[in-house]
């Protein structure tokens, strides 16, 4: 009888099931195909400018913190407008404390169809935390971001990409706290972060006893080295051609490999007039180089790769069923 059909309950879905916002049309049409996903992921690590690693030893005044918070909010709204103009959905990894100080901002990001992820609770480098404190960072931020946005938080991006071999235990804790993927292991050689021999395409990262799906930031393999072309200083300093080449070669891999170009930006990188932090010469240059041109560059990137954008959660939805086929990589020796 028809009524039986109408009255039969919908299949139960668990609380971590993807929200509608996580399921793009691209994902739905691709779910029937067996090949691995191809996507460009635009991600934004949202923190106030004074929280950056280079300023870790500074103690900005309450006035200057308030100013950076105001500017973070304004610039994030500008970015939301830009994304809306091109109907592009992105992933926003937010500092949990921002959900407490700016709940409306987090709600507006979620309402625009973007993914909400965690960028820790207080933006502390994991190398400075013990496992108990890190657990609080990822638990509190996930709780508050989910409560405020009404969206499940699946993903984590560590401050300063601080998931490394020394902090392999962080992978275990992310798995225990219900995260479904991480995007914090940069397969590059760098003075502050990186696991140079880690895979460049999505894989299963093994911590001490548990594992987690990893979406590594984009690198471009050049002359035997992985160049970090995913964002940051590389995006602002070098010709856009480098990031483009990275995206192109990633997307040109065989379709048995997930071809994910994970890019990252920070709202403060688009804020030309922000007051400069009193940094040392090298760090000042690294921090502010190319800021004046970054917005135009981002817009060009969006225009060029528009057809390939998906959120990280969309990508994860496609990768989870093929987990067994993904490469595995242990962070502990």
* Binding footprint of Zn ion on the chain (CB under 5 A): 45, 47, 159
User: What is the torsion angle, in degrees rounded to the nearest 10, for the CA atoms of residue 101, residue 107, residue 109 and residue 110?
Assistant: 140
Q: How far is the CB of 223 from Zn ion (least distance, A)?
A: 29
Min dist. Cβ of residue 197 to Zn ion (A): 24
Smaller CB distance to Zn ion: residue 51 or 89?
Answer: 51
Minimal distance, residue 51 CB to Zn ion, in Å: 7
**Residue 45 or 182 with smaller CB distance to Zn ion:** 45
Q: Nearest distance from residue 161's CB to Zn ion, in Å? A: 9
In sequence order, the 6+-apart residues with CB closer than 8 A to the CB of 326 are: 202, 203, 204, 213, 258, 319
Give the residue carrying structure tokens 């309450």. 62
User: Is residue 212 within 8 Å of residue 181, measured between CB atoms?
Assistant: yes
Torsion 246-53-214-80 (CA) sign? negative
Q: Which is nearer to Zn ion, 53 or 176 (CB)?
A: 53
Closest residue to Zn ion using C-beta atoms: 45
Token pair 């595995």 is found at 328
Comparing CB distances to Zn ion, the nearer of 30 and 45 is 45
Rank residues 95 and 302 by Cβ distance to Zn ion and give the closer one: 95
CB of 130 to Zn ion, least distance (A): 20
Q: Are 163 and 127 in contact (CB under 8 A)?
A: no
Nearer to Zn ion, 21 or 312 (CB): 312
Cβ at position 102, least distance to Zn ion in Å: 16
Paired with 116 in beta bridges are 92
CA dist., res. 2 & res. 29, Å (int): 29
Spatial CA neighbour of 311 closest among 103, 118, 43: 43
**Is the Cβ of residue 114 or residue 123 nearer to Zn ion in the bound state?**
123
Each residue of 142-178: b (16+ CB within 10 Å) or e? Answer: bbbbbebbebbbbbbbbbbbbbbeebbbbbbbbbebe
Q: Is 215 helix (H, G, I), strand (E, B) or coil?
A: coil
First to last CA, the chain: 61
- Kindly report the backbone phi and psi dihedral angles of residue 15, in degrees, each rounded to the nearest multiple of 5, phi listed first: -65, -20
Nearer to Zn ion, 96 or 159 (CB): 159
CB of 40 to Zn ion, least distance (A): 20
Give every CB contact of residue 320 below 8 A, 6+ residues apart in sequence: 180, 213
Three-state secondary structure call for residue 311: coil
The residue among 37 and 60 lying less far from Zn ion, judged by its C-beta, is: 60
Shortest distance in whole angstroms from residue 328 CB to Zn ion: 27
Helices (H), ranges, 86-203? 96-101, 103-111, 131-149, 169-176
Q: How far is the CB of 293 from Zn ion (least distance, A)?
A: 21
Q: Compute the distance between CA of residue 161 and CA of residue 170 in angstroms, rounded to an integer.
A: 12
């Amino acid at each position: 009888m028809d009524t039986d059909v109408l009255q039969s309950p919908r299949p139960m879905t668990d609380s971590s099931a993807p929200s509608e916002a996580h399921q793009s049309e691209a994902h739905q049409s691709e779910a029937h195909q067996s090949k691995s996903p191809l996507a460009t992921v635009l991600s934004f690590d949202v923190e106030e400018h004074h929280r950056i690693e280079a300023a870790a030893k500074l103690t900005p005044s309450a006035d200057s913190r308030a100013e950076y918070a105001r500017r973070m909010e304004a610039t994030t709204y500008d970015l939301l407008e830009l994304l809306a103009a091109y109907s592009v959905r992105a992933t926003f990894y937010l500092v949990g404390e921002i959900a407490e100080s700016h709940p409306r901002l987090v709600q507006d990001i979620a309402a625009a169809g973007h993914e909400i992820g965690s960028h820790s609770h207080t933006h502390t480098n994991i190398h400075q935390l013990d496992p108990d404190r890190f657990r609080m960072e990822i638990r509190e931020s996930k709780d508050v971001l989910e409560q405020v946005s009404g969206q499940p938080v699946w993903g984590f991006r560590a401050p300063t990409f601080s998931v490394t071999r020394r902090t392999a235990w962080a992978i275990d804790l992310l798995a225990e706290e219900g995260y479904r993927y991480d995007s914090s292991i940069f397969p590059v050689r760098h003075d502050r972060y990186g696991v140079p021999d880690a895979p460049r395409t999505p894989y299963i990262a093994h911590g001490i006893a548990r594992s987690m799906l990893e979406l590594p930031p984009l690198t471009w393999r050049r002359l035997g080295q992985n160049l970090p072309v995913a964002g940051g200083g590389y995006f602002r300093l070098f010709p856009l051609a480098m990031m483009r080449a990275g995206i192109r070669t990633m997307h040109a891999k065989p379709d048995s490999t997930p071809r994910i170009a994970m890019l990252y930006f920070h709202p403060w990188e688009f804020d030309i007039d922000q007051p400069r932090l009193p940094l040392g010469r090298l760090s000042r240059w690294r921090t502010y180089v190319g800021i004046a041109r970054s917005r135009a560059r981002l817009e060009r990137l969006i225009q060029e790769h528009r057809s390939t954008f998906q959120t990280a959660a969309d990508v994860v939805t496609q990768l989870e069923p093929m987990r067994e086929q993904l490469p595995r990589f242990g962070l502990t020796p």
